[in-house]
Amino acid sequence: MKVLAMVLAGGQGSRLHPLTAERSKPAVPFGGRYRIADFVLSSLTNSGIQAIYILVQYKSQSLIEHVNKAWTRAPGVAGQFITIVPPQMREGPEWFQGTSDAIFQNINLIQRHKPDMIAVFGADHIYRMDVRQMIDFHRQHSADASVAALPVPLAEASGFGVIDADDQGRIRGFLEKPQNPPPMPGDPGRAYASMGNYLFDTEVLLTALREANENGEHDFGHHVLPRLIRTHRVFAYNFADNRVPGVADYEEQAYWRDVGTIDTFYAAHYDLLGVEPRFNLFNPQWFINSSPYQGPSPRIIAGEIVDSVISAGSLINGGRIDHSILRREVIVEEDVEIEDCIVMDYAVIRKGARLRRTIVDRYNEIAPNTRVGFDAAADRQRYVVSEGGVVVLGKRQYVPDVTRYAT
């Protein structure tokens, strides 16, 4: 079975602003050392899928550089590659107009490789998935297309694109954020939410893409799949059945998060912390790959650290770090307090600063005695503050000394 993966990594991520001011959503840093795109690429490669095209579009340079550093494959190995594909505009001057149009504009790549099956996966979610199990499901059901489906509580399903399927899993319809979502088969308390990950038999996909293009249609969820369910065998694959090797019993087995807003992005980081994290990134049987950073181990001169991640190259020279994640080469000076924060690479937190419920993007310097996260009105005048009250400092946003808010 020859499988070609097409990863959709062009997301603009406007709801993650200012973290996406200079990068696409898949390139946004996550956890202690990763980018969001690392999770789909790790799932594919761990599943034995080694032929991968990554389709990029908005503010793609950061992601291109990351992939080139972290995901380079040995040259000369036939059929094994991870290649970035910017918009080629082979069909005209337009950029990708939607998810299916992105694949259609690169239909020549599919024809070149002649795969048996195409995996079309998104690059902007945090999860791990053994794709081989979805492929087995697809083949066992003689499916023409399969859609990864996440069971969600019925009361929350109105916030998702919902799949209506029969008791065999065959899809009857797609509903976008319905007021009265249909329950999933055999479980009246939950509904199937589409994860945006698809498997297609190659010829079925090629025909469907050409039809969509002729009709001026550009999206899988709104156009291609609703048409296919009327003429082909399209099935929902229950992601809750997916079992990744090495996942501990205390973890959320079918972990998947759409980190599309500041608040969901922030909340997902706290699934990584604790003695028994909901999503444990240490799994020797299912390695999450990222850039091969060669910096030194972190140095901790003094201070108190509680339930936190301190990444390579960081220097902690006093203060208190509580329930926080510090990425690589962060410098923390004396008498600093960092509580419930995400501090990204190369940030410097100067003496006496206080940060609470704050995301600090890369290359920031927090001036001595600064207070962020303590005065909502003052924070909104200077920074982006999410609906949930999380303060966000954009990349290279120098933070001045604001001692008058000291308490």
Same domain for 254 and 312, yes or no, is no
Is residue 393 within 8 A of residue 372, CB to CB? The reply is yes
Residue 394 is which amino acid? G
Residue 264, in any domain of the structure: no
- Per the annotation, binding residues for alpha-D-glucose 1-phosphate are 161, 176-177, 194
CB-based contact 160:178 (threshold 8 Å): no
The dihedral of CA 194, 200, 204, 205: what is its sign?
positive
Q: 214 and 350: one domain?
A: no
pLDDT at position 186 is 87
Please check whether residue 192 lies inside any domain of the structure.
yes
Calculate the CA dihedral of residues 143, 196, 59, 215 and round it to 10 degrees: 60
The per-residue b/e assignment along 193-208, b for 16 or more CB within 10 angstroms, e otherwise, is bbbbbbbbbbebbbeb
Domain shared by 214 and 74, yes or no: yes
Q: Determine how β-strand 358-360 pairs with β-strand 391-393.
A: parallel
> Rounded to whole angstroms, how far apart are CA atoms 231 and 242?
28
365/303 Cα distance (integer angstroms): 20
Query: What was the pLDDT predicted at 356?
Result: 98
Listed in sequence order, the residues at least 6 apart from 289 whose beta carbon sits closer than 8 Å to its beta carbon are 38, 41, 42, 45, 70, 71
Domain for residue 280, yes or no?
A: no
| pLDDT < 50 stretches in the chain | 402-407
125 & 203 share domain: yes
Please check whether residues 218 and 326 belong to one and the same domain.
no
Q: State the total domains in the chain.
A: 2
CATH number of the domain residue 388 falls in: 2.160.10.10
Domain that holds residue 113: 3-258
How far is it, in rounded angstroms, from Cα 358 to Cα 373?
6
In a domain, 268, yes or no: no
Residue whose C-alpha is closest to residue 292's, from 66, 45, 63: 66
Chain CA centroid to CA 406, Å:
37
Residues 250, 323: one domain? no
Q: Are residues 81 and 202 in the same domain?
A: yes
Q: Could you report the per-residue pLDDT of 230-286, keeping only the tens digit for each?
A: 999 999 999 999 999 999 999 999 999 999 999 999 999 999 999 999 999 999 999
Q: Which residues pair with 343 in a beta bridge?
A: 326, 360
Binding-site members are: 161, 176-177, 194
Residues 254 and 332 both lie in one domain: no
- Is 279 a member of any domain? no
Q: Is residue 214 part of a domain?
A: yes
246/316 same-domain check: no
The reported pLDDT for the residue numbered 402 is 47
Structure tokens at 202: 């190659």
Same domain as 248, residue 391: no
Region of 319 please: left (phi>0), alpha (psi -120 to 50) or beta: left
DSSP label at residue 182: P
Task: Tell me the pTM.
Answer: 0.93
User: What pLDDT score does 92 carry?
Assistant: 55
Same structural domain for residues 319 and 215?
A: no
Q: Which of 370, 385, 342 is nearest to 18 (CA)?
A: 385
